[in-house]
With several copies, the nearest count.
Chain A
């Protein structure tokens, strides 16, 4: 069995090239691969395209906004490309208004489904979300059984940075509660999937095959978060 365990986050993201596309999961701060994002920040790759629910928060925590603020990201696909409160001017919002970063606003369900389509070899799909709104403008519409849908395309990525609860050495993953969110579909959609593990990396055979959220075949690299790493 190929060794998937890396000792450091830096080694695990060392080969991310300039211009790569990466996926960064997390929802309301839960399930965010903060250690891997911090490592990618240190690594310094630039011209990146990011796929994530939001474009960074205003707390002091490491997230996709850390890479954005550092100028490493040229484009974001996200469900939030403006603050939920007008007072929240994140680095992304400032740069987006200045025109130094590009973005596509994607309804959250469409974002999830586009990621799932990439993982699933689906060429495109029709969704009812956004029909009749500005976000559907210019998109192909189709009426199916009396309902109108828009055509949406998969979102592929070179790297998925993933936060999981537990793994075995083969890369089978388990998540805890709301930590799951975008993590499984991103892990399955990217060419290279790198995972930081909160709890434990157990020997192969210790996880119940019925209780695995992401099969290890999708996982390329595993790093256990060290005691001095970022857990929250």
Chain B
């Protein structure tokens, strides 16, 4: 059974997305899995981590016992200040986001569609939503990366022709890391760029609703050195 083969770990998925970050980028990491991106450190690149609460340039998680209760990232985790950090209020923080200063936002999702739509804020038949800053970020960041499991817990595909859930923003996703590989969103749909070790394109297609484009230079998933 394909489902029983080992898949990629969350940290590997986030490492892979983080490898795409470029020097001097302003990076916003969503709550949950995306925060793992900050565990990947490329010493040749300086990144500036921005959090919705107005913290610009925070550092790694604070070691136990060294937490400053006034300094948290978007997920509420205590982080340490980096030299050069600056604080702004919430309106200015989203001025920065809407102003197009964020180079990449990495978010989790329930679904991603081949047209770049994604859904991560509302479960149907349930009132309300946990939108947070996701709509502002998704609409305004220069790139939107998604980190998510390839299928739901009961094995249904999350990589779809069209989203079934209410979307967070239309047509904005550029890159998706799942536990089965790395996918670029092209004008023609999902392109499988890298596959998880032991998984061939046909097996991945089987767990994907949308048709995958399989390029001639398809590679195996790249892990941290």
In the bound complex, do residue B70 and residue A112 qualify as a contact, i.e. CB atoms below 8 Å apart? no
The answer to whether A72 has its CB under 8 Å from any CB of chain B is no
A217 to B83, CA, bound (A): 13
In the bound complex, do residue B123 and residue A107 qualify as a contact, i.e. CB atoms below 8 Å apart? no
Let me know if B70 and A177 touch, CB within 8 A.
yes
- For B165, give the chain A residue with the smallest CB separation: A134
Contact A178 B136 (CB under 8 A): no
Quick check: B52 and A185 within 8 Å, CB to CB?
no
A153 at the interface (CB under 8 A from B): no
Partner of A109, one of B24, B69, B97: B97
Query: Is A116's beta carbon under 8 Å from chain B?
Result: yes
Do A170 and B84 touch (CB < 8 A)?
Answer: yes
Tell me the number of A-to-B contacts counted with CB atoms below 8 Å. 216
- Considering residues A168, A183, A216, which has the most beta carbons from chain B within 10 angstroms of its beta carbon? A216
Tell whether, in the assembled complex, residue B135 and residue A28 are in contact, meaning their CB atoms are under 8 Å apart: no
Task: Check if A178 sits within 8 Å of B55, measured CB to CB.
Answer: yes
Which residue of A has the minimal Cβ distance to B102? Answer: A217
Indicate with 1 or 0, residue by residue over B75-95, a CB within 8 angstroms of chain A CB atoms.
110000101111111110111
Chain A residues with CB under 8 Å of B139's CB are: 128-131
Known: A81-B127, A168-B84, A181-B54. A28 touches B76 (CB 8 A): yes
CB distance from A202 to the nearest CB of B (A): 11
B75 interface neighbour in A28, A86, A97, A120, Cβ under 8 Å: A28
Task: Tell me whether A103 is interfacial, beta carbon within 8 Å.
Answer: yes
- Check A146 for interface membership: any CB of B closer than 8 A: no
A1 / chain B contacts, CB cutoff of 8 Å: 24, 46, 84
Whether B90 lies near A212 (C-beta < 8 A) is no
Do B131 and A107 touch (CB < 8 A)? yes
**Chain A residue nearest in CB terms to B108:** A84
Contacts of A131 in B (CB 8 A): 139, 169-170
Are A82 and B123 in contact, with the CB atoms below 8 A? yes
Cβ of A225 to closest chain B Cβ, rounded Å:
14
The smallest beta-carbon distance between B136 and chain A, in angstroms, is 3
Q: Give the residue name and chain of the B residue nearest to A120 (CB).
A: B95
- A133 interface neighbour in B54, B87, B133, B169, Cβ under 8 Å: B169
Complex contact B133–A178 (CB within 8 A)? no
A28 lies within 8 A of B72 (CB): yes
Interface residues of B in 182-208 (CB under 8 A from A): none
Residues of B close to A175: CB separation below 8 A: 87
* A105 proximity list for chain B (CB < 8 A): 128-129, 131
**Known A79-B131, A96-B127, A103-B128; 10 more pairs at CB < 8 Å:** A2-B24, A27-B53, A28-B75, A30-B69, A82-B127, A105-B128, A112-B91, A127-B98, A135-B131, A212-B86
- 8 A-B pairs with C-beta separation under 8 A: A2-B46, A107-B131, A108-B52, A128-B140, A129-B139, A130-B139, A134-B166, A215-B57
B-side residues, CB < 8 A to A, are 23-24, 26, 31-32, 46, 48, 50-57, 68-72, 74-76, 81, 83-91, 93-101, 122-123, 126-137, 139-140, 166-171
7 tightest CB-CB pairs across the interface, nearest first? A121-B98, A81-B128, A205-B83, A28-B76, A109-B94, A109-B136, A120-B95
